[in-house]
Amino acid sequence: MAVALRDGTVSPASFTSELIADADLRILMSRIQVRQDPALTVRHRQHREFPAEITVTLSDGSMRHLAATHAPGQGGTMSREQLNTKFDSMATTVLYAEQAHSLRDQLWGLEQASNLSGVAALLRAFRA
């Protein structure tokens, strides 16, 4: 949660040892309190939602509140740009950026593809 508050997103890069040990991030982590809201649990059980609410108190004492019924892509739609961003953040952990972008573009054109040799070649290119 601290990474999302600080960086605005969470990706595989958010889970490196260096980032987890980051002193500023650790301070922010120590200020976070997580509490279960029974009403949200009921909504999850009854409506198969994944509701979440967050309230942030700023240094001037003002508060910001956000609520969601689901994560992006779960129970809702994601824009092509959002999907591309998510795909790139995941694929570049196992492919070089150029390969990931090429694979992404080929997957978008999958319905029109005459064969899958390009996709197959990129999938074999995964790096450890």
pLDDT in tens, 96-110: 999 999 999 999 999
Strand partners for 31: none
Q: Would the pTM of this model clear 0.75, i.e. be above it?
A: no
The predicted pLDDT at position 73 comes to 73
For CA atoms 105, 72, 94, 7, the dihedral sign is positive
Query: CA torsion angle for 34, 38, 39, 41 (degrees, to 10)?
Result: 80
**Contact assessment for residue 104 and residue 116, using Cβ atoms and an 8 Å cutoff:** no
Residue % of the chain over a pLDDT of 70: 97
Angstrom CA distances, 22 to 5, 16, 25, 74, 78, stand at: 14, 10, 5, 31, 31
Residue % of the chain over a pLDDT of 90: 48
In angstroms, the first-to-last Cα distance of the chain is: 28
Per-residue pLDDT tens over the stretch 41-79? 999 899 888 889 999 998 999 999 999 887 777 766 788
Query: Which residue matches tokens 């009921």?
Result: 42
